[in-house]
Chain A
Amino acid sequence: MSKLRLIIQREFIAKVRNKSFIMMTFLSPLLMVGMGALVYFLMQKNDEKVKNIVYVDNSGLFSEDDFKNTKTIHYKDFTALGVTETKKKVEDGDYYGALLIPKQDSLEILATSIEFYSKESPGMSVMSSLENKIESKIRNEKLTNFGFDLSKIKASKIKTEIKMFNFSGEQSSKLINGLKIGVGAIAGYLLMMFVMIYGTSVMRSVIEEKTSRIIEIIVSSVKPFQLMLGKILGNASAGLLQFFIWGAILLLVTTVASSFFGVDVVEMQSAKIPTDQLETVKQATEGNKGQLLVLEILKLPILKIFVLFVFYFLGGFMLYSSLFAAIGAAVDNETDTQQFMFPIIAPLILGVYVGFATVINDPHGSIAVLFSHIPFTSPIVMLMRVPFGVSWYELVISMALLLVTFVFMVWFAAKIYRIGILMYGKKPTYKDLWKWLKFKG
């Protein structure tokens, strides 16, 4: 047991001391925030350029009120200039585009005969904004023709919002539904990335021991199984450390953010203020979107998600990294790993895809439920479902299945591992691996 501890310690330290670990831990949250900010900034910049659009209205239907300037599009009436001149002006590059509205007898024909000329093909947002304008104008025109009173129709418009409840007394809103999808998706995706990154790290470490030939010295002191387990647990601890550091950073950021918006995070989480009270807080601060968001986030079962993430990470990691270790043992160098990597990565990717495709639509649908029980995908899919509330017995079954499978997988991988680490030369085939399974100690 003390030898296992020594191995875990060494693997942990070797991993944590690595420059890339330190970089990834502290730089990637910065990088992520930075990237987000950059994308936001670029999007702003991209739209900021004002597009000047001119129009020639020969139908006489539209007025200047219909073409009000927006932040990004400015309109100009060129009806007086005529179609040919206007088109020429656009072609010379003085304006972004020309909207040509011909004179037609019926509104139906008009609706399909309007043309837009521009030097570069216009973006989707520009086109849909133009189409919306014309559509609503023509619709209003028709409604008036049918004898409806437009002002009454306007007055009849109403906005509905259904409040969603479940029986544990939580009230949810559309906002929180979106949040749940977001939190689940991030957790599931993060888990996949963790398993991949730390799994390959286990594999690399095995290959390193093999190519540096220290392996024979180590296995003359400890059992190969101990070495493999120590390696897996050492890397898992490094992964958890990284996760906890990120968690701490996130907590710090939310605390700062919430104190900025005036919500006491710690009190909210620990005191579990009843929902109706929350509601009054919410009402009192109506209109403050930032605070609302923080309030909604706090209503998520954050602690539960956190604990389950740790469990599913450990379970999923043990499951996959033992396979990664077996691959590392079977080959002599990293280039030979490709062929064996695919069958391992495939279910991970499948988990993410199935999660994104089904959980978002229906978190308790049959496919989502099935995949959250299959041990190879359950860590990812279940994590995506958890924010929507999963019954405890489903969690127990899924966790138990994962537990049993990873114990079996570690045993299975160890059989390949103990033979593989001492084999050099030809890259083994699947048939060879099958043979190794049957070798005696």
Chain B
Amino acid sequence: MNNLLEIKNVTKKYGDFTALNNVSLNIPKGSVYGLLGPNGAGKTSLIRIINQITMPDTGSVFLDGEVLAPHHIEQIGYLPEERGLYKSMKVGEQALYLAQLKGLSKSEAKKRLKYWFEKFDIAAWWDKKIEELSKGMAQKVQFIVTVMHNPKLLIFDEPFSGFDPINAQLIAKEILQLREQGATIIFSTHRMESVEEMCDEIALIDKSNKILDGKLDDIKRQFKTHTFQVGLHTKNQTEVLSNLKENFEVQPANFKLLNDSLTLNVKLTAGNSANDLLSFLTSNGEVQHFVELIPSANDIFIQAIQKNS
């Protein structure tokens, strides 16, 4: 069994509104899986189904090969996008309560909380009320509460919101470390640069349908346009440019080089390879820059959504 979580043909309706339409996903063990999509696409509905907060109308969900059942709650950690804690409850008591709700014994919960509080250097907050903490501080507590029962599956919905860059990095490091320790992570965010940094696989949901999924590298390959950024130092720029245009598709470039080289985006046309382009360039001048344009997660997101609408 390579997939920790399998979602098969899940449909969920609220009255006349379809939140999820026949969505299937496979989330491999030990991966960081990006669950992406515009606002209102159905991500939260899907996450709630995985958390058994709601039930799918049709379709099924399997965790580690078993049909999702109430006892699986203890193997899932969930950090919702809209999060909060009891304002007037003390940090330590609250964390203990939430840990016990996740099935830990009181003594075990205490032990683990001590570990995490020391790790995040927040042991002094134990007897403070949440309302006395800043937003970033409360988020740290929230993160600990999510992960402390060592769940197999962790679901983070916009985990970095409310954190300053330093703490965001700390959290990102922790998430990757949890993956090292064997956890599988579902990661839902609108911050594409963090998708780029962290995700192995992604799925894109738009208007209740899954429109894309797979390994991030594969998807990039699929979305790449065989375009190269080229920087060429040559004396007769106009002649080279017209020759180039005969064999390749040339687009204006929006990058700069240090000297006044000719800068272009060149797209390979049918029957051409990257080597053909390179040999043409070397025979016409001094190549200073040659990079294939790889679509970013951001580009893929925008393109895929636009294509779907």
Question: Contact residues of A with B, CB < 8 Å?
Answer: 3, 6-7, 10, 14, 208-209, 211-214, 216-224, 422, 435, 439-441
Q: Chain B residues with Cβ under 8 A from A3's Cβ?
A: 101
B164 contacts the other chain (Cβ, under 8 Å)? no
Q: Is the CB of A221 within 8 A of B85?
A: no
**Residue in A214, A222, A223, A435 whose beta carbon sits within 8 Å of that of B86 in the complex:** A214
Question: Contact residues of B with A, CB < 8 Å?
Answer: 14-15, 48, 51-55, 57, 70, 73, 76, 78, 80, 82-89, 97-98, 100-102, 142, 145
Q: Is the CB of B101 within 8 A of A218?
A: yes
Q: Chain B residues with Cβ under 8 A from A6's Cβ?
A: 97, 100-101
Q: Is the CB of B53 within 8 A of A219?
A: yes
**Residue in A10, A14, A211, A422 whose beta carbon sits within 8 Å of that of B53 in the complex:** A422
Q: Chain B residues with Cβ under 8 A from A212's Cβ?
A: 84-87
What distance in Å separates the Cβ of B90 from its nearest Cβ neighbour in chain A?
Answer: 10
Closest to A7 in B: B101
User: A209, A214, A224 — which one has the most chain B CB atoms within 10 A of its CB?
Assistant: A214
Closest to A210 in B: B84
Q: Is the CB of A439 within 8 A of B15?
A: yes
By secondary structure, the B interface counts as loop
Q: Is the CB of B51 within 8 A of A220?
A: yes
Cα–Cα distance between A209 and B84 once the two chains are bound (Å) = 9
Q: Is the CB of A213 within 8 A of B101?
A: no
Q: Is the CB of B89 within 8 A of A217?
A: no
Cα–Cα distance between A6 and B109 once the two chains are bound (Å) = 14
What distance in Å separates the Cβ of B308 from its nearest Cβ neighbour in chain A?
Answer: 26
Q: Is the CB of B86 within 8 A of A221?
A: no
Q: Is the CB of B15 within 8 A of A435?
A: yes
Closest to A213 in B: B84
Closest to B142 in A: A217
Q: Is the CB of A217 within 8 A of B98?
A: yes
Q: Chain B residues with Cβ under 8 A from A224's Cβ?
A: 53
Cα–Cα distance between A220 and B73 once the two chains are bound (Å) = 7
Cα–Cα distance between A10 and B98 once the two chains are bound (Å) = 11
Instruction: Take A14-B89, A214-B86 as given contacts and tell me if A441 and B100 are in contact as well, using a CB distance cutoff of 8 Å.
Output: no
**Residue in B55, B70, B145 whose beta carbon sits within 8 Å of that of A217 in the complex:** B145
Instruction: Take A220-B51, A439-B15 as given contacts and tell me if A214 and B97 are in contact as well, using a CB distance cutoff of 8 Å.
Output: no
**Residue in A7, A213, A217 whose beta carbon sits within 8 Å of that of B78 in the complex:** A217
**Residue in A10, A14, A209, A217 whose beta carbon sits within 8 Å of that of B80 in the complex:** A217
Q: Is the CB of A216 within 8 A of B53?
A: yes
Cα–Cα distance between A212 and B52 once the two chains are bound (Å) = 21
What distance in Å separates the Cβ of A11 from its nearest Cβ neighbour in chain B?
Answer: 11
Cα–Cα distance between A211 and B84 once the two chains are bound (Å) = 8
Q: Chain A residues with Cβ under 8 A from B85's Cβ?
A: 212, 214, 217
A-B contact pairs, 27 of them (CB 8 A): A3-B101, A6-B97, A6-B101, A10-B97, A14-B89, A208-B86, A211-B84, A212-B84, A212-B85, A213-B82, A214-B85, A216-B82, A216-B83, A217-B142, A217-B145, A218-B101, A219-B53, A220-B51, A220-B80, A221-B73, A221-B101, A223-B70, A422-B48, A435-B15, A439-B15, A440-B55, A440-B57
Cα–Cα distance between A213 and B83 once the two chains are bound (Å) = 5
What distance in Å separates the Cβ of A49 from its nearest Cβ neighbour in chain B?
Answer: 51
Q: Chain A residues with Cβ under 8 A from B100's Cβ?
A: 6
Q: Chain A residues with Cβ under 8 A from B76's Cβ?
A: 220
What distance in Å separates the Cβ of A422 from its nearest Cβ neighbour in chain B?
Answer: 7
Instruction: Take A3-B101, A213-B82 as given contacts and tell me if A220 and B53 are in contact as well, using a CB distance cutoff of 8 Å.
Output: yes
Closest to B85 in A: A214
Q: Chain A residues with Cβ under 8 A from B55's Cβ?
A: 440-441
Instruction: Take A213-B80, A214-B84, A217-B80 as given contacts and tell me if A222 and B53 are in contact as well, using a CB distance cutoff of 8 Å.
Output: no
